[in-house]
Amino acid sequence: MEEKMTVLVTGGSGMLGYALQKVIKEKKRPGEEWIFIGSKDADLREIDETRTIFEKHMPTHVIHLAAIVGGVFKNMKNTCDILLTNQKINLNVYQVCKEIKVKKLISCLSTCVYPDKITYPITESMLHDGPPHPSNFGYSFAKRSIDAMNKCYRWQYGCPFVSVIPTSIYGPNDIFSVEDAHVIPGLINKVRMCKRANTPLVVWGTGKPLRQFIFSYDLAQLVIWAIREYDEEDNIFLSVDEKDEISIRELVEVIVEEYGFKGEVVFDDTKTDGQYKKTVSTAKLRKYLPDFKFTPIREGIRETIRWFEDNYDIART
Ligand code: GDP
C-alpha cells in the first residue's frame, strides 16, 4: 500500500513551485495529494494567516519554498528587508508545522549562503564554518537560521525538519528582471532587448566566476524524491556534478547562441562578480541517485528562452 501523503508546497507559484507542478502531473503516485500555495493564498509573514492555511489543508508533508529572493544586486540593495521578511516567513511556517505535527518538512537553502572563504568542493556540513559573502549577507543569515531551526526543533521537540540545498537554479517562470534577477533570467531578458534595439549586450562583472546551474525541472524531480525518500537528519546538496560547473563567460556564449544574438558582447568589470565560485560536492546525492541524468545547460537554456518568448506578456520582469 502506498503511504497517504498530503504535500503542501509554499512558494508554489515561484520558479521551483511551477516546475514541481509540471513534474508532479506526470509523477504523482496514488495516495498523494499535492497542494501549491502562493502569496495570493496567504501572507506567510503573518502567523494567523499561516496557521489558517495550514489548518485548512492539514498537510502530512511540507515543502517550504516561499522566500524573498533575488540576484546579487537585489540582495545588496535590500539586505535588511530580505533578512527580516524571510525570517518572519520561516518562523511562522516552522511553528505551524510543529503545531500540526507534520511528518516531514523540507525547506530550501542555497549554496550561496555558505562561507565565502572555504575549501572546495564544499560539503553539506560546512554551512557555519565562516561568514557568507557580503553581497548576500541578509539572505544568508535568514537561510542559515533555517538550518538552526531544523536542528533545534529536532533536538528539543523531535520534529522531522531538514533542508535540501540547490545550487544556482534557472528555468521557466523565473523572475526575468534586468536589474534584480539572477544571471540567467537577467541576461535572457537583456539579450532580448539588445537584439531588438540592436545594441551591445553588457554583461556584469568579469565573466570569470564559476557556477553549477541546475535546471528547475531537474531540481523538481530531486525535491520530489527527497520528500518521499530522504530521511537523514542532515541536509543534502541538490546540484549538477563538479564537472558541469561553467563560467559566466561560457554561460553568456550559450545564451547568445541559443537566442541568435549577433551583436557585440561587453563585460563591465566595474560591476561586482559576487562570489568567485561555490563549487559543491555531489558525493552524498550520488550515493543515493548514481544514475540521475541532469538536463545539459544548453537544452535547459533553450527551454527557458522558449518559455520566456512564449510567455513574455505574463513573465515577471
Ligand atoms: P550569485 O550566483 O548569487 O552571485 O547571483 P547572480 O546570479 O546574480 O550572479 C552570478 C554572476 O553573474 C555574478 O558574477 C554576476 O556579476 C554575473 N552577471 C553577469 N551579468 C549579470 C546580470 O545581468 N545579472 C546578474 N544578476 N548577474 C550577472
Query: Which of 71-75, 108-112, 187-191, 259-263 shows the lowest mean pLDDT across its residues?
Result: 71-75
| pLDDT of res. 76 | 87
The mean pLDDT value for 91-104 works out to 98
- Per-residue pLDDT at 248 exceeds 80: yes
What is the 3-state secondary structure of 169-224? Answer: EECCCCECCCCCCCHHHHHHHHHHHHHHHCCCEEEECCCCCEECEEEHHHHHHHHH
pLDDT value at position 275?
85
pLDDT digits (tens, 9 = 90+) for 203-236: 999 999 999 999 999 999 999 999 999 999 999 9
Q: Whose CA is nearest to atom 28 of ligand 1?
A: 183
- Residue 9 in this model has a pLDDT that exceeds 60: yes
Per-residue CA distances from 38 to 10, 13, 15 (Å): 6, 5, 11
pLDDT confidence of residue 2: 63
Three-state SS letters, 70-117: CCHHHHHHCHHHHHHHHHHHHHHHHHHHHHCCCCEEEEECCHHHCECC
- Element (DSSP H or E) covering residue 15: helix 15-27
Number of H helices, E strands in the chain: 10, 12
Nearest CA owner, ligand 1 atom 4: 274
- CA–centroid distance, 275 to ligand 1, in Å, is 9
Instruction: Say if residue 111's pLDDT is above 70.
Output: yes
pLDDT of 135 reads 86
Taking the C-alpha atoms of residue 57 and residue 62, their distance in angstroms, rounded to an integer, is 11
pLDDT digits (tens, 9 = 90+) for 259-277: 999 999 999 999 989 889 9
Reply yes or no on whether the pLDDT at 84 is more than 70: yes
Mean pLDDT of the region 45-54: 98
Q: Is 124 helix (H, G, I), strand (E, B) or coil?
A: helix
Q: Is the per-residue pLDDT at 118 higher than 80?
A: yes
Q: How confident is the model at residue 1 (pLDDT cuts 50, 70, 90)?
A: low
The whole-number average pLDDT for the span 265-290 is 95
**Residue in the block written with cell 508545522:** 97
Select from 182, 213, 266, 277 the residue to mutate for testing ligand 1; criterion: most ligand atoms less than 8 Å from CB: 182
Q: Which residues line ligand 1 (CB under 6 A)?
A: 71-73, 112, 168, 181-183, 186-187, 190, 203-205, 209, 211, 248, 271-275
For residues 289 and 284, what is the distance between their CA atoms, to the nearest angstrom? 9
**To the nearest whole number, what is the mean pLDDT of the chain?**
96
Report the percentage of the chain scoring pLDDT > 70.
Answer: 99
Q: Whose CA is closest to atom 2 on ligand 1?
A: 168
Paired with 203 in beta bridges are 267
Percent over 90 (pLDDT), the chain: 92
Residue 163 predicted with pLDDT over 90: yes
Peptide bond into 121 cis (omega under 30): yes
| Known catalytic membership, residue 139 | yes
Supply the pLDDT for residue 212: 98
Whether this prediction's pTM lies above 0.85 is answered by yes
